Amino acid sequence: MNGSDALLKKLKENGTDTVFGYPGGVLLPLYESIYDCDINHILVRHEQSAAHAADAYARASGKVGVCIATSGPGATNLVTGIATANIDSSSVIALTGQVGTPIIGTDAFQEVDTIGITMPITKASFQPRTSDKLPETIDEAYHIASTGRKGVVVIDIPKDVLENPVTTKDMKRKYKLPGYNPTTKGNKRQIKRAIKTIQESKKPIILAGGGVILADASEELIKFARNANIPVATTLMGKGAINEHDPLSLGLLGMHGLESTNIAVTNSDCLIAIGCRFSDRTTGKVSEFAPNATKIHIDIDPAEIGKNVPIDLPIVGDAKTILRELNEEIQIPNQNGWTTKVVDANQNYKPKMTFNTPILKPQECIKEIMQAITPETIVTTDVGQNQMWMAHYFKAQKPRTFISSGGLGTMGFGLPAAIGAQVAKPEENVLAIVGDGGFQMVSQELATIEEYDLPIVTVILNNRYLGMVYQWQILYYNNKISQTKMTPKPDFAKLADAYGINGVHVEKTGELQETIQNALKSREATVIDVKIDSDELLPMVPPGEKITKIVGEYKTEDE
Protein backbone atom coordinates (compact mmCIF):
# COMPACT_ATOMS: atom_id res chain seq x y z
CA MET A 1 0.00 0.00 0.00
CA ASN A 2 1.05 3.60 -0.45
CA GLY A 3 0.97 6.32 2.18
CA SER A 4 -2.61 7.31 1.39
CA ASP A 5 -3.87 3.75 1.80
CA ALA A 6 -1.94 3.37 5.06
CA LEU A 7 -3.35 6.66 6.37
CA LEU A 8 -6.95 5.57 5.77
CA LYS A 9 -6.25 2.14 7.23
CA LYS A 10 -4.93 3.78 10.38
CA LEU A 11 -7.91 6.14 10.64
CA LYS A 12 -10.23 3.13 10.65
CA GLU A 13 -8.09 1.22 13.15
CA ASN A 14 -8.36 4.18 15.50
CA GLY A 15 -12.15 4.23 15.28
CA THR A 16 -12.77 6.91 12.66
CA ASP A 17 -15.55 6.28 10.18
CA THR A 18 -16.23 9.88 9.09
CA VAL A 19 -14.01 12.77 7.99
CA PHE A 20 -14.84 16.35 6.98
CA GLY A 21 -12.78 17.78 4.18
CA TYR A 22 -12.11 19.68 1.00
CA PRO A 23 -9.72 18.33 -1.69
CA GLY A 24 -6.84 20.05 -3.44
CA GLY A 25 -3.89 19.38 -5.71
CA VAL A 26 -1.40 17.80 -3.29
CA LEU A 27 -4.19 15.69 -1.79
CA LEU A 28 -5.10 13.96 -5.05
CA PRO A 29 -3.33 10.73 -4.01
CA LEU A 30 -5.35 10.69 -0.78
CA TYR A 31 -8.65 11.40 -2.51
CA GLU A 32 -7.92 8.64 -5.01
CA SER A 33 -7.69 6.27 -2.03
CA ILE A 34 -10.80 7.78 -0.44
CA TYR A 35 -12.68 6.96 -3.65
CA ASP A 36 -12.08 3.24 -3.02
CA CYS A 37 -12.52 3.43 0.77
CA ASP A 38 -15.64 2.99 2.91
CA ILE A 39 -14.80 5.93 5.18
CA ASN A 40 -17.61 8.47 5.07
CA HIS A 41 -16.31 11.77 3.65
CA ILE A 42 -18.39 14.92 4.14
CA LEU A 43 -17.53 17.56 1.54
CA VAL A 44 -17.90 20.96 3.18
CA ARG A 45 -17.93 24.20 1.21
CA HIS A 46 -15.13 25.89 3.15
CA GLU A 47 -12.21 24.39 5.05
CA GLN A 48 -12.96 26.34 8.23
CA SER A 49 -16.31 24.58 8.33
CA ALA A 50 -14.51 21.22 8.14
CA ALA A 51 -12.63 22.06 11.33
CA HIS A 52 -15.78 23.27 13.14
CA ALA A 53 -17.70 20.17 12.03
CA ALA A 54 -14.92 17.85 13.23
CA ASP A 55 -14.82 19.79 16.51
CA ALA A 56 -18.56 19.39 17.14
CA TYR A 57 -18.45 15.77 15.98
CA ALA A 58 -15.91 15.15 18.75
CA ARG A 59 -17.91 17.03 21.37
CA ALA A 60 -21.20 15.30 20.52
CA SER A 61 -19.78 11.78 20.22
CA GLY A 62 -16.80 11.71 22.58
CA LYS A 63 -14.70 10.36 19.69
CA VAL A 64 -11.87 12.04 17.78
CA GLY A 65 -12.99 14.34 14.97
CA VAL A 66 -10.99 14.45 11.74
CA CYS A 67 -10.77 17.24 9.16
CA ILE A 68 -8.79 17.44 5.92
CA ALA A 69 -7.52 20.38 3.87
CA THR A 70 -4.98 20.83 1.12
CA SER A 71 -1.74 22.80 1.30
CA GLY A 72 -1.39 26.57 1.35
CA PRO A 73 -4.76 28.35 1.50
CA GLY A 74 -6.54 25.12 2.38
CA ALA A 75 -4.39 24.70 5.48
CA THR A 76 -4.62 28.37 6.46
CA ASN A 77 -8.41 28.24 6.12
CA LEU A 78 -8.38 25.53 8.78
CA VAL A 79 -6.49 27.70 11.25
CA THR A 80 -9.47 29.45 12.88
CA GLY A 81 -11.27 26.14 13.37
CA ILE A 82 -8.12 24.54 14.77
CA ALA A 83 -7.67 27.35 17.29
CA THR A 84 -11.35 27.15 18.23
CA ALA A 85 -11.20 23.43 18.93
CA ASN A 86 -7.90 23.52 20.77
CA ILE A 87 -8.74 26.26 23.25
CA ASP A 88 -11.97 24.37 24.07
CA SER A 89 -10.02 21.10 24.52
CA SER A 90 -11.71 19.23 21.70
CA SER A 91 -10.16 16.03 20.32
CA VAL A 92 -9.47 16.80 16.66
CA ILE A 93 -6.92 15.60 14.13
CA ALA A 94 -6.32 18.02 11.27
CA LEU A 95 -4.75 16.43 8.19
CA THR A 96 -3.17 18.98 5.86
CA GLY A 97 -1.51 18.43 2.51
CA GLN A 98 1.96 19.74 1.85
CA VAL A 99 4.15 20.12 -1.23
CA GLY A 100 6.58 17.29 -1.94
CA THR A 101 9.57 16.91 0.36
CA PRO A 102 12.17 17.84 -2.32
CA ILE A 103 10.68 21.33 -2.68
CA ILE A 104 9.70 22.12 0.92
CA GLY A 105 11.20 25.50 1.80
CA THR A 106 11.38 26.80 -1.77
CA ASP A 107 8.16 28.84 -1.67
CA ALA A 108 6.61 26.36 -4.06
CA PHE A 109 3.08 26.84 -5.34
CA GLN A 110 0.62 26.69 -2.43
CA GLU A 111 3.34 26.10 0.14
CA VAL A 112 3.05 27.51 3.65
CA ASP A 113 4.79 26.54 6.87
CA THR A 114 1.75 24.78 8.33
CA ILE A 115 3.71 23.44 11.31
CA GLY A 116 5.02 26.91 12.16
CA ILE A 117 1.60 28.48 11.79
CA THR A 118 -0.30 25.91 13.86
CA MET A 119 2.24 25.03 16.55
CA PRO A 120 1.05 27.76 18.99
CA ILE A 121 -2.61 26.74 18.63
CA THR A 122 -2.37 22.94 18.79
CA LYS A 123 -1.50 20.29 21.30
CA ALA A 124 1.02 18.79 18.87
CA SER A 125 2.09 19.08 15.23
CA PHE A 126 3.80 16.50 13.02
CA GLN A 127 5.24 16.39 9.51
CA PRO A 128 6.22 12.82 8.57
CA ARG A 129 8.88 12.93 5.83
CA THR A 130 8.62 9.27 4.78
CA SER A 131 5.71 6.97 4.03
CA ASP A 132 7.01 4.45 6.57
CA LYS A 133 6.75 7.09 9.32
CA LEU A 134 3.11 7.90 8.53
CA PRO A 135 1.32 4.95 10.26
CA GLU A 136 3.12 5.51 13.56
CA THR A 137 2.46 9.26 13.35
CA ILE A 138 -1.28 8.63 12.98
CA ASP A 139 -1.33 6.39 16.05
CA GLU A 140 0.59 8.97 18.08
CA ALA A 141 -1.78 11.73 16.98
CA TYR A 142 -4.87 9.82 18.13
CA HIS A 143 -3.26 9.05 21.48
CA ILE A 144 -2.26 12.67 22.08
CA ALA A 145 -5.55 14.17 20.92
CA SER A 146 -7.71 11.91 23.08
CA THR A 147 -5.77 11.64 26.35
CA GLY A 148 -4.84 14.07 29.10
CA ARG A 149 -6.21 17.49 28.30
CA LYS A 150 -7.76 16.84 24.93
CA GLY A 151 -6.78 18.98 21.98
CA VAL A 152 -5.90 19.32 18.32
CA VAL A 153 -3.08 17.49 16.56
CA VAL A 154 -2.00 18.62 13.08
CA ILE A 155 -0.37 16.17 10.67
CA ASP A 156 1.12 17.99 7.68
CA ILE A 157 1.70 15.39 4.95
CA PRO A 158 3.90 16.00 1.89
CA LYS A 159 2.46 14.78 -1.40
CA ASP A 160 5.23 12.22 -2.02
CA VAL A 161 4.61 10.70 1.42
CA LEU A 162 1.04 10.03 0.29
CA GLU A 163 2.21 8.56 -3.01
CA ASN A 164 5.19 6.43 -2.03
CA PRO A 165 4.84 2.80 -0.91
CA VAL A 166 4.94 1.83 2.77
CA THR A 167 7.64 -0.80 3.21
CA THR A 168 7.33 -1.45 6.94
CA LYS A 169 5.75 -4.80 7.80
CA ASP A 170 4.69 -3.85 11.32
CA MET A 171 1.44 -1.86 11.07
CA LYS A 172 0.20 -2.62 14.57
CA ARG A 173 -1.07 0.32 16.55
CA LYS A 174 1.82 1.82 18.47
CA TYR A 175 3.30 5.09 19.65
CA LYS A 176 6.58 6.15 21.21
CA LEU A 177 6.02 9.19 23.38
CA PRO A 178 8.39 8.92 26.35
CA GLY A 179 7.90 12.58 27.31
CA TYR A 180 4.11 12.42 27.25
CA ASN A 181 2.54 10.89 30.34
CA PRO A 182 -0.55 12.77 31.59
CA THR A 183 -1.46 12.40 35.26
CA THR A 184 -4.89 10.83 35.66
CA LYS A 185 -4.99 9.77 39.32
CA GLY A 186 -5.18 12.51 41.90
CA ASN A 187 -2.74 12.72 44.78
CA LYS A 188 -4.25 10.81 47.73
CA ARG A 189 -3.04 13.31 50.30
CA GLN A 190 -4.49 16.23 48.36
CA ILE A 191 -7.82 14.45 47.99
CA LYS A 192 -7.99 13.85 51.75
CA ARG A 193 -7.16 17.50 52.36
CA ALA A 194 -9.91 18.53 49.95
CA ILE A 195 -12.47 16.34 51.71
CA LYS A 196 -11.52 17.83 55.07
CA THR A 197 -11.68 21.39 53.70
CA ILE A 198 -15.07 20.83 52.08
CA GLN A 199 -16.59 19.26 55.18
CA GLU A 200 -15.34 22.10 57.38
CA SER A 201 -16.75 24.74 55.05
CA LYS A 202 -19.95 26.67 55.71
CA LYS A 203 -20.64 28.05 52.22
CA PRO A 204 -19.32 25.64 49.57
CA ILE A 205 -19.98 25.96 45.83
CA ILE A 206 -18.98 23.63 42.99
CA LEU A 207 -17.89 25.19 39.69
CA ALA A 208 -18.16 22.68 36.83
CA GLY A 209 -16.33 23.37 33.59
CA GLY A 210 -16.12 21.70 30.23
CA GLY A 211 -13.58 19.23 31.57
CA VAL A 212 -16.38 17.45 33.44
CA ILE A 213 -18.17 16.75 30.16
CA LEU A 214 -14.98 15.81 28.30
CA ALA A 215 -14.13 13.32 31.06
CA ASP A 216 -17.66 11.83 30.90
CA ALA A 217 -17.90 12.68 34.59
CA SER A 218 -21.39 14.16 34.78
CA GLU A 219 -22.84 11.26 36.77
CA GLU A 220 -19.99 11.48 39.26
CA LEU A 221 -20.43 15.26 39.53
CA ILE A 222 -24.16 14.97 40.25
CA LYS A 223 -23.53 12.24 42.82
CA PHE A 224 -20.89 14.41 44.50
CA ALA A 225 -23.19 17.44 44.60
CA ARG A 226 -26.04 15.42 46.08
CA ASN A 227 -23.90 13.49 48.55
CA ALA A 228 -22.45 16.73 49.89
CA ASN A 229 -25.57 18.87 49.24
CA ILE A 230 -23.53 21.53 47.42
CA PRO A 231 -24.93 23.82 44.70
CA VAL A 232 -23.31 23.68 41.24
CA ALA A 233 -22.49 26.66 39.05
CA THR A 234 -21.19 26.08 35.52
CA THR A 235 -19.00 27.78 32.98
CA LEU A 236 -20.19 28.20 29.39
CA MET A 237 -18.38 25.00 28.39
CA GLY A 238 -19.81 23.22 31.42
CA LYS A 239 -23.46 23.72 30.42
CA GLY A 240 -25.11 20.31 30.51
CA ALA A 241 -22.69 18.81 33.04
CA ILE A 242 -25.68 18.90 35.40
CA ASN A 243 -29.33 19.12 34.40
CA GLU A 244 -30.03 22.84 34.72
CA HIS A 245 -33.54 22.06 35.97
CA ASP A 246 -31.97 20.28 38.96
CA PRO A 247 -32.55 22.30 42.16
CA LEU A 248 -28.81 22.18 42.89
CA SER A 249 -27.98 23.73 39.52
CA LEU A 250 -27.25 27.45 39.72
CA GLY A 251 -26.65 27.93 36.01
CA LEU A 252 -24.05 30.09 34.30
CA LEU A 253 -21.37 32.02 36.18
CA GLY A 254 -19.50 35.10 35.01
CA MET A 255 -19.78 38.06 32.66
CA HIS A 256 -23.05 36.84 31.15
CA GLY A 257 -24.06 34.69 34.08
CA LEU A 258 -27.04 34.83 36.39
CA GLU A 259 -26.92 37.50 39.08
CA SER A 260 -27.88 35.01 41.80
CA THR A 261 -25.09 32.64 40.72
CA ASN A 262 -22.48 35.39 40.69
CA ILE A 263 -23.52 36.50 44.16
CA ALA A 264 -23.43 32.95 45.53
CA VAL A 265 -19.89 32.30 44.25
CA THR A 266 -18.72 35.68 45.54
CA ASN A 267 -20.06 34.88 49.02
CA SER A 268 -18.76 31.29 49.15
CA ASP A 269 -16.06 30.15 51.56
CA CYS A 270 -15.04 27.05 49.58
CA LEU A 271 -14.99 26.88 45.78
CA ILE A 272 -14.48 23.43 44.25
CA ALA A 273 -13.59 24.06 40.60
CA ILE A 274 -13.58 20.99 38.36
CA GLY A 275 -12.31 20.98 34.79
CA CYS A 276 -12.33 24.73 34.21
CA ARG A 277 -9.59 27.21 33.36
CA PHE A 278 -10.88 30.34 35.15
CA SER A 279 -11.12 32.46 32.02
CA ASP A 280 -11.63 36.20 32.35
CA ARG A 281 -15.24 35.76 31.20
CA THR A 282 -15.83 33.53 34.23
CA THR A 283 -13.93 35.39 36.93
CA GLY A 284 -14.25 39.06 36.12
CA LYS A 285 -11.85 41.02 38.33
CA VAL A 286 -9.59 38.28 39.67
CA SER A 287 -8.74 40.02 42.95
CA GLU A 288 -12.44 40.10 43.84
CA PHE A 289 -13.38 36.66 42.54
CA ALA A 290 -14.68 34.52 45.43
CA PRO A 291 -12.41 36.57 47.72
CA ASN A 292 -13.15 34.66 50.94
CA ALA A 293 -13.17 31.16 49.46
CA THR A 294 -10.61 28.42 49.85
CA LYS A 295 -10.13 27.45 46.22
CA ILE A 296 -9.81 23.78 45.30
CA HIS A 297 -8.96 23.19 41.64
CA ILE A 298 -9.26 19.76 40.02
CA ASP A 299 -7.87 19.64 36.48
CA ILE A 300 -6.13 17.24 34.10
CA ASP A 301 -3.80 20.02 32.93
CA PRO A 302 -1.34 21.19 35.62
CA ALA A 303 -0.55 24.28 33.53
CA GLU A 304 -4.05 25.63 34.20
CA ILE A 305 -3.80 25.41 37.97
CA GLY A 306 -2.84 28.78 39.38
CA LYS A 307 -2.47 30.33 35.93
CA ASN A 308 -5.29 32.85 36.27
CA VAL A 309 -6.53 32.49 39.85
CA PRO A 310 -4.40 31.67 42.93
CA ILE A 311 -5.29 28.16 44.14
CA ASP A 312 -5.14 26.93 47.74
CA LEU A 313 -5.50 23.22 47.06
CA PRO A 314 -4.59 21.83 43.62
CA ILE A 315 -5.42 18.29 42.49
CA VAL A 316 -4.06 17.23 39.11
CA GLY A 317 -5.86 14.35 37.42
CA ASP A 318 -8.89 13.07 35.55
CA ALA A 319 -12.17 14.57 36.79
CA LYS A 320 -14.05 11.27 36.64
CA THR A 321 -11.41 9.40 38.64
CA ILE A 322 -11.04 12.09 41.29
CA LEU A 323 -14.79 12.60 41.72
CA ARG A 324 -15.19 8.86 42.29
CA GLU A 325 -12.64 9.06 45.10
CA LEU A 326 -14.33 12.09 46.60
CA ASN A 327 -17.67 10.33 46.49
CA GLU A 328 -16.32 7.45 48.57
CA GLU A 329 -15.77 9.64 51.64
CA ILE A 330 -17.57 12.96 51.22
CA GLN A 331 -20.24 13.94 53.73
CA ILE A 332 -22.56 16.92 53.97
CA PRO A 333 -20.73 19.95 55.42
CA ASN A 334 -22.14 21.83 58.39
CA GLN A 335 -23.74 24.52 56.21
CA ASN A 336 -26.37 26.08 58.48
CA GLY A 337 -28.88 26.36 55.66
CA TRP A 338 -26.42 27.74 53.07
CA THR A 339 -27.54 25.46 50.23
CA THR A 340 -31.22 26.12 50.92
CA LYS A 341 -30.57 29.87 50.90
CA VAL A 342 -28.58 29.76 47.64
CA VAL A 343 -31.04 27.45 45.88
CA ASP A 344 -34.01 29.59 46.94
CA ALA A 345 -32.28 32.75 45.72
CA ASN A 346 -31.53 31.07 42.40
CA GLN A 347 -35.09 29.82 41.92
CA ASN A 348 -36.55 33.20 42.86
CA TYR A 349 -34.17 35.03 40.51
CA LYS A 350 -36.15 36.50 37.65
CA PRO A 351 -34.05 38.16 34.98
CA LYS A 352 -35.51 40.49 32.42
CA MET A 353 -38.26 38.50 30.69
CA THR A 354 -40.75 40.47 28.59
CA PHE A 355 -43.31 38.70 26.43
CA ASN A 356 -46.20 39.44 24.09
CA THR A 357 -44.56 42.55 22.65
CA PRO A 358 -45.16 43.85 19.10
CA ILE A 359 -41.73 42.57 18.06
CA LEU A 360 -40.31 39.31 19.38
CA LYS A 361 -37.90 39.46 22.31
CA PRO A 362 -34.96 37.04 22.34
CA GLN A 363 -36.00 35.79 25.78
CA GLU A 364 -39.35 34.73 24.35
CA CYS A 365 -37.52 32.90 21.56
CA ILE A 366 -35.41 30.95 24.05
CA LYS A 367 -38.54 30.05 26.02
CA GLU A 368 -40.23 28.71 22.87
CA ILE A 369 -37.09 26.84 21.82
CA MET A 370 -37.03 25.04 25.17
CA GLN A 371 -40.72 24.17 24.85
CA ALA A 372 -40.20 22.77 21.35
CA ILE A 373 -37.36 20.30 22.01
CA THR A 374 -36.55 17.29 24.17
CA PRO A 375 -33.63 16.83 26.60
CA GLU A 376 -31.84 14.75 23.95
CA THR A 377 -31.94 17.47 21.29
CA ILE A 378 -28.44 18.73 20.48
CA VAL A 379 -28.18 22.51 20.35
CA THR A 380 -25.27 24.33 18.76
CA THR A 381 -24.83 28.08 18.96
CA ASP A 382 -22.93 30.70 17.06
CA VAL A 383 -21.14 33.53 18.86
CA GLY A 384 -22.49 36.88 19.96
CA GLN A 385 -25.75 37.93 21.54
CA ASN A 386 -27.50 34.83 20.21
CA GLN A 387 -24.99 32.69 22.09
CA MET A 388 -25.28 34.59 25.33
CA TRP A 389 -29.08 34.70 25.26
CA MET A 390 -28.87 30.92 25.05
CA ALA A 391 -26.17 30.60 27.69
CA HIS A 392 -28.14 32.80 30.10
CA TYR A 393 -31.70 31.54 29.62
CA PHE A 394 -31.54 28.12 27.97
CA LYS A 395 -31.45 25.17 30.36
CA ALA A 396 -29.32 22.29 29.08
CA GLN A 397 -30.31 18.96 30.55
CA LYS A 398 -27.69 16.46 29.38
CA PRO A 399 -23.96 16.51 28.66
CA ARG A 400 -22.82 16.85 25.05
CA THR A 401 -26.11 18.47 24.01
CA PHE A 402 -25.01 22.13 24.24
CA ILE A 403 -22.14 22.88 21.85
CA SER A 404 -20.68 26.38 21.58
CA SER A 405 -17.39 28.15 20.89
CA GLY A 406 -16.05 29.25 24.25
CA GLY A 407 -12.45 30.39 24.46
CA LEU A 408 -12.02 31.78 20.94
CA GLY A 409 -15.58 33.03 20.44
CA THR A 410 -15.67 32.19 16.74
CA MET A 411 -18.44 33.67 14.65
CA GLY A 412 -19.63 31.19 12.05
CA PHE A 413 -19.26 28.23 14.42
CA GLY A 414 -22.92 27.33 14.89
CA LEU A 415 -23.98 26.03 11.47
CA PRO A 416 -20.96 23.81 10.64
CA ALA A 417 -20.97 22.62 14.27
CA ALA A 418 -24.54 21.45 13.73
CA ILE A 419 -23.33 19.47 10.70
CA GLY A 420 -20.70 17.72 12.79
CA ALA A 421 -23.13 17.00 15.61
CA GLN A 422 -25.78 15.65 13.22
CA VAL A 423 -23.28 13.34 11.52
CA ALA A 424 -22.10 12.13 14.92
CA LYS A 425 -25.64 11.55 16.18
CA PRO A 426 -27.79 10.86 13.10
CA GLU A 427 -30.81 9.72 15.12
CA GLU A 428 -30.98 12.84 17.28
CA ASN A 429 -32.56 16.19 16.47
CA VAL A 430 -30.04 19.00 16.00
CA LEU A 431 -30.85 22.68 16.34
CA ALA A 432 -28.43 25.47 15.33
CA ILE A 433 -29.08 28.81 17.05
CA VAL A 434 -27.26 31.56 15.16
CA GLY A 435 -27.25 35.29 14.57
CA ASP A 436 -27.65 36.93 11.20
CA GLY A 437 -24.01 38.02 11.25
CA GLY A 438 -22.39 34.67 11.99
CA PHE A 439 -24.79 32.81 9.70
CA GLN A 440 -23.71 34.89 6.72
CA MET A 441 -20.10 33.86 7.29
CA VAL A 442 -20.94 30.21 6.61
CA SER A 443 -24.29 30.17 4.83
CA GLN A 444 -22.69 28.22 1.96
CA GLU A 445 -22.82 25.15 4.23
CA LEU A 446 -26.54 24.94 3.50
CA ALA A 447 -25.31 23.15 0.37
CA THR A 448 -23.57 20.56 2.56
CA ILE A 449 -26.73 20.11 4.62
CA GLU A 450 -28.81 19.60 1.50
CA GLU A 451 -26.34 17.28 -0.23
CA TYR A 452 -26.12 14.89 2.72
CA ASP A 453 -29.81 15.21 3.62
CA LEU A 454 -29.07 16.38 7.17
CA PRO A 455 -32.31 17.31 9.01
CA ILE A 456 -30.77 20.29 10.80
CA VAL A 457 -33.09 23.07 11.95
CA THR A 458 -31.37 26.47 11.90
CA VAL A 459 -32.91 29.29 13.93
CA ILE A 460 -31.58 32.73 12.99
CA LEU A 461 -32.14 35.28 15.77
CA ASN A 462 -32.16 38.14 13.32
CA ASN A 463 -31.67 41.57 14.90
CA ARG A 464 -30.07 43.21 11.84
CA TYR A 465 -26.97 44.11 13.88
CA LEU A 466 -23.70 42.56 14.96
CA GLY A 467 -25.49 42.28 18.26
CA MET A 468 -22.79 41.84 20.87
CA VAL A 469 -20.49 44.51 19.43
CA TYR A 470 -23.53 46.77 19.03
CA GLN A 471 -24.36 46.24 22.71
CA TRP A 472 -20.83 47.15 23.79
CA GLN A 473 -20.96 50.29 21.63
CA ILE A 474 -24.14 51.34 23.42
CA LEU A 475 -22.89 50.55 26.91
CA TYR A 476 -19.20 51.50 26.76
CA TYR A 477 -18.50 53.55 23.60
CA ASN A 478 -20.81 56.53 23.91
CA ASN A 479 -23.53 55.01 21.76
CA LYS A 480 -21.38 55.42 18.63
CA ILE A 481 -22.84 52.71 16.42
CA SER A 482 -19.90 52.18 14.08
CA GLN A 483 -20.15 49.49 11.36
CA THR A 484 -22.40 47.16 13.32
CA LYS A 485 -25.74 47.83 11.65
CA MET A 486 -26.43 45.27 8.94
CA THR A 487 -28.75 45.50 5.96
CA PRO A 488 -32.03 43.62 6.42
CA LYS A 489 -31.10 41.64 3.32
CA PRO A 490 -30.83 38.89 2.34
CA ASP A 491 -34.15 37.19 2.81
CA PHE A 492 -32.86 34.12 4.63
CA ALA A 493 -35.95 32.04 3.84
CA LYS A 494 -35.41 32.67 0.13
CA LEU A 495 -31.71 31.92 0.50
CA ALA A 496 -32.59 28.57 2.06
CA ASP A 497 -35.00 27.90 -0.78
CA ALA A 498 -32.20 28.55 -3.28
CA TYR A 499 -30.30 25.67 -1.67
CA GLY A 500 -33.36 23.41 -1.75
CA ILE A 501 -34.02 23.80 1.97
CA ASN A 502 -37.26 24.84 3.66
CA GLY A 503 -37.25 28.53 4.63
CA VAL A 504 -39.71 30.07 7.10
CA HIS A 505 -40.25 33.55 8.57
CA VAL A 506 -41.34 33.98 12.20
CA GLU A 507 -42.34 37.35 13.67
CA LYS A 508 -45.04 36.66 16.26
CA THR A 509 -45.16 35.19 19.76
CA GLY A 510 -46.07 31.50 19.71
CA GLU A 511 -45.04 30.86 16.12
CA LEU A 512 -41.47 29.75 16.81
CA GLN A 513 -42.33 26.80 19.05
CA GLU A 514 -44.79 25.37 16.54
CA THR A 515 -42.48 25.99 13.60
CA ILE A 516 -39.56 24.20 15.29
CA GLN A 517 -41.74 21.28 16.32
CA ASN A 518 -43.08 20.88 12.79
CA ALA A 519 -39.58 21.08 11.31
CA LEU A 520 -38.16 18.50 13.72
CA LYS A 521 -41.10 16.20 13.15
CA SER A 522 -40.63 16.39 9.39
CA ARG A 523 -36.92 15.47 9.68
CA GLU A 524 -36.25 17.93 6.87
CA ALA A 525 -33.64 20.67 6.94
CA THR A 526 -35.26 24.01 7.74
CA VAL A 527 -34.04 27.59 8.15
CA ILE A 528 -36.22 29.73 10.43
CA ASP A 529 -35.63 33.47 10.14
CA VAL A 530 -36.82 35.05 13.39
CA LYS A 531 -37.05 38.82 13.47
CA ILE A 532 -36.22 39.95 17.02
CA ASP A 533 -35.96 43.26 18.82
CA SER A 534 -32.58 44.77 17.98
CA ASP A 535 -32.64 47.08 21.00
CA GLU A 536 -32.90 44.34 23.60
CA LEU A 537 -29.68 44.25 25.64
CA LEU A 538 -28.39 41.36 27.69
CA PRO A 539 -27.44 42.21 31.30
CA MET A 540 -23.70 41.73 31.72
CA VAL A 541 -20.68 42.42 33.89
CA PRO A 542 -18.42 45.12 32.45
CA PRO A 543 -14.95 43.84 31.45
CA GLY A 544 -12.53 43.82 34.37
CA GLU A 545 -15.20 44.40 37.03
CA LYS A 546 -16.20 42.08 39.84
CA ILE A 547 -18.92 39.65 38.80
CA THR A 548 -21.57 41.13 41.12
CA LYS A 549 -21.45 44.47 39.25
CA ILE A 550 -24.06 43.79 36.57
CA VAL A 551 -25.06 46.41 34.02
CA GLY A 552 -28.59 46.14 32.70
CA GLU A 553 -32.11 46.54 34.02
CA TYR A 554 -33.78 43.52 35.62
CA LYS A 555 -37.54 43.13 35.61
CA THR A 556 -39.84 40.34 36.68
CA GLU A 557 -42.48 38.98 34.32
CA ASP A 558 -45.16 40.74 36.37
CA GLU A 559 -43.51 44.14 35.94
Supply the residues annotated as catalytic.
47, 109-110, 159, 468
DSSP state of 477: S
Q: Largest alpha-carbon pair distance within the chain?
A: 76
> 179: Cβ–Cβ under 8 A, 6 or more apart, which residues?
none
Cα 268 to chain centroid, rounded: 28
- Amino acid at residue number 148: G
| Contact predicate 354/361, CB 8 Å | yes
Strands (E), 182-221: 204-208
| Contact predicate 174/201, CB 8 Å | no
CA quadruple 283, 287, 288, 294: dihedral sign? positive
CA 100 to CA 49: how far, in whole Å? 26
Q: How many CA atoms lie within 13 A of 105 on its CB side?
A: 2
Q: How many CA atoms lie within 13 A of 431 on its CB side?
A: 32
Q: Annotate 484-507 with three-state secondary structure.
A: CECCCCCCHHHHHHHCCCEEEEEC
Which secondary structure element, helix H or strand E, spans residue 114, and what is its range? Answer: helix 114-118
- List, as one string, the DSSP characters of 48-64: HHHHHHHHHHHHHHSS-
Q: Is 342 left (phi over 0), alpha (psi -120 to 50) or beta?
A: alpha
CA 10 to CA 116: how far, in whole Å? 25
| Contact predicate 203/269, CB 8 Å | yes
